[in-house]
A and B are shown apart, each in its own frame.
Chain A
Amino acid sequence: MRCAPWRRIWFAASATAMVVLAPHAVADDLPGVSDTIIRIGNISPYSGPASAYSQIGKTIEAYVDKINAEGGVNGRTIELLSYDDGYSPPKTLEQARKLVERDDALLIFASLGTPTNSAIHDYLNGKGVPQLFVATGASKWGDPKNHPWTMAWQPVYRTEAGIYARHVLENRPDGKIAVLYQNDDYGRDYLEGLRAGLGDRADSMIVAALPYETTDPTIDSQIINLKASGADIFVNVATPKFAAQAIRKAAEIGWRPMHILNSVSQSVGAVLVPAGLDAAKGIISAAYLKDSSDPQWAEDEEMAAWHGFMDDYYPQGDRNSNLTVYGYAVTKTLQHVLEAAGDDLSRENVMKVAASMENVRVPMLLPGITMTTSATDFFPLQDMQLMRFDGERWQLFGDIISE
């Protein structure tokens, strides 16, 4: 195509003007960073079926307010853009594009959900934008070889299942295990983790593993068959509604195995109360965060600081939900990474710093639990502690267990 000379000049001039006028451009031309701000993106389900989880996003916003009120990170204010995807993957992709291409965010932080994060996994890795500390427990987030821009945060389902396997091997080596699992990536991740943890004993110990579909009205039939398998250990890998149904049905038909409940459904208010506290007594699960309703932390300094934060920045937040604790701890982790990156806030360096944590501890993790990552280990949290439900609240027991 030929261009008249005056036209070329016009192009050059307008290009210069655009660079000069671009609102957030800085000398180094780093995306989302200037001398005064760091722009961070987040995508949460503020509407739709998973909107209960939006408390994490709201806590993140509140904690960022606190960071900014206290002077920001290395003199820069964090500008958090948190968008709603309604837990719908196509919408997640749309919001991620907006954050990357229009808002020029440095990174996408703690986006919630497995299907939603899956929808932006390849896009963000193709663009070289960090997808940092995703709020989901699937195992695929720690795969630096194929997805070097994505990092997990919480202990993934496989890790948790491996911890249960260790507990079973140590305490009931001759036990027979029955598993109820959701027939999708999440359920199968747990089942695989359990098998891996049991090693060559897996085939002889797991006597029954029955799936359910999220469209099943009830899982009564599965529970009856699991009981009939003769198992004395029940691993309940179900989401809140089905987990509660399983707890109630097992009690109803008089099945009292060692009951291991996955952390997805360990909420007392949302699962154990509807299921019936008596039926839930004795259930075992695993944790890595301090439970704000547990009286053993009443005098704890970190807990007091968290309460102070909730008073000042998120007074309407639910203190009995571990989601507000989660949002607080994960944002503390982001704060650590940004501070450690100092003035080199390129996307490459932020990932490098995130991938070189060495026994980093943030408040509200259980005592003894720390985060370690490396160029080949993108799973920050891999330790948990077991706990047992006493009919009223969870009681921690035993040592911190690594997978």
Chain B
Amino acid sequence: MMACVVRISVTDCGRWMELFTQQVLAGIATGGIYALMALAIVMIYQAIHHLNFAQGEMGMFSAFVAWQLLLWGAPYWLAFIATVALSFVAGVLIERIVFRPLRRAPVFSHLVVFVALFAIVNSLAGFIWDFTIKPFPSPFGTTPLFGAGLIGAHQAGMLVVIALVLAALFLFLRATRLGLALRAAAANPESARLVGVRVGWMMALGWGLASAIGAVAGMMIAPIVFLEPNMMLSVLLYGFAGAVLGGLASPGGAVLGGFLVGVLENLAATYVPVVGSELKLPIALLLIVVVLVLRPYGLFGRKPVERV
């Protein structure tokens, strides 16, 4: 608005507003990608209190599975549901087979396995489906909404999906016994075990849910960035940033964090003179660091309280 005041003519002002609106909307659309990824990250964090580096690659692999099902002639929503279900099972299996034996191993062992999982899933997808980009269909169509193409139908549909996943996750973690048990198992395994929570299975459930959300993310992101094995590499980084900005314990905060990263990045590229377009990501991350210095647990995170 300030810029309008200093600008000379009314048409200039209109053009400025149009560019600003477009950049904010494009930022929200891209931010939606980060928000979905951030939700999967929050889910896994709630279950195991680690960040899973392979989260993005698992989502990518799920999207390829959906693509393959569609290629074999499955209707979209059937492929969608089958993929989410398969991903859930795969997540549970990964926890049972790979991480259960490592339960008491130091955190660095987990780190190495996350990285290995990342590399394995990425190469496997490249080996099976090769590295050329593939168009991935959107259930919401591709026509731009609102005439001028301010935001696409797919992006709008994705925002609805984010809202649904967010609501489901919120209700699950806050209002169901299973959700409470899952949080208890992660926060204090010993006490949880004493009150009858099966901690091991709670972790497996967390893995399953995280990989199911990752599958939804993959299928929503692929129509925008095209399907290929490396499509999640940078999305994961932005998703981490969004989740940490919003607070790793808060699904709502993570979603908001994702949107903020998307919008900040676009505005930095557009309005920071000279270096804006080259350094848009560093500028956005710098702002995040500033926020975290002021609020170490994220915008919506709470300081963990422990009774000694």
Contact = CB atoms under 8 A, between A and B. Distances in A.
Interface string B26-39: 11011001000000
Task: Pick from A210, A216, A240 the residue with the most CB of B within 10 Å.
Answer: A216
Nearest to B136: A274
B281 A213 contact: yes
A254 interface: yes
Contact of B269 (A49, A217, A221, A241): A221
Interface string B99-142: 00000000000000000000000000010001111110000001
Interface string B149-174: 10010000000000000000000000
A112 B189 CA distance: 54
Contacts of A228: 15, 18-19, 22
A213 B284 CA distance: 15
A216 B277 CA distance: 12
A225 interface: yes
Contacts of A210: 277
Contacts of B19: 224-225, 228
With most chain A CB atoms within 10 A of its CB, the pick from B135, B152, B226 is B226
Given A221-B265, A228-B15, A211 B133 contact: no
B278 interface: yes
Interface residues of B, number: 42
A240 B231 CA distance: 13
Interface string A212-225: 01011110111011
A269 to B, nearest CB: 8
Interface in A49-65: 49-52
Interface stretch (B178-186, B232-240, B290-298): B232-240
Nearest to B237: A215
A14 interface: no
Contacts, number: 90
A360 interface: no
A253 interface: yes
A224 B152 CA distance: 14
A270 interface: yes
B23 interface: yes
A221 B131 contact: no
Contacts of A217: 30, 33, 221, 224-225, 234-235, 238
Contacts of B62: none
A245 B29 CA distance: 14
A151 B200 CA distance: 61
Contacts of A220: 26, 29-30
A241 B33 contact: no
Nearest to A228: B19
A51 B128 CA distance: 13
For B27, B265, B270, B277, which residue has the most chain A Cβ atoms within 10 angstroms? B277
Contacts of B230: 49
A70 interface: no
A305 to B, nearest CB: 28
B266 interface: yes
A205 B121 CA distance: 46
A216 B281 CA distance: 9
Contacts of B15: 228
A244 interface: yes
Given A49-B230, A224-B23, A270 B225 contact: no
Interface in B248-268: 265-266
Given A211-B278, A252-B149, A274-B133, A222 B269 contact: yes
A253 B25 CA distance: 12
Contacts of B152: 252
Given A213-B281, A217-B235, A49 B26 contact: no
Nearest to B234: A215
Contacts of B148: 253-254
A218 B131 contact: no
A271 to B, nearest CB: 8
Interface in B161-217: none
B14 interface: no
A225 B233 contact: no
Nearest to B37: A217
A270 B149 CA distance: 25
B228 interface: yes
Contact of A51 (B18, B22, B130, B226): B130
A293 interface: no
A183 B278 contact: yes
Nearest to B277: A210
A234 to B, nearest CB: 16
A273 interface: yes
Interface string A15-26: 000000000000
A380 B3 CA distance: 53
B26 A52 contact: no
Contact of A245 (B33, B130, B225, B266): B225
A245 B130 CA distance: 19
A115 to B, nearest CB: 16
Interface of B: 15, 18-19, 22-23, 26-27, 29-30, 33, 126, 130-135, 142, 144, 148-149, 152, 221, 224-226, 228-230, 233-235, 237-238, 265-266, 269-270, 277-278, 280-281
20 contacts: A48-B126, A49-B126, A50-B131, A51-B130, A52-B130, A183-B278, A215-B234, A216-B234, A217-B224, A220-B26, A220-B29, A221-B27, A221-B280, A224-B26, A225-B269, A241-B225, A254-B149, A270-B132, A274-B134, A274-B135
Given A217-B33, A217-B238, A274-B133, 12 more contacts: A48-B126, A210-B277, A216-B281, A218-B225, A221-B23, A224-B26, A225-B23, A244-B133, A252-B149, A252-B152, A253-B22, A274-B135
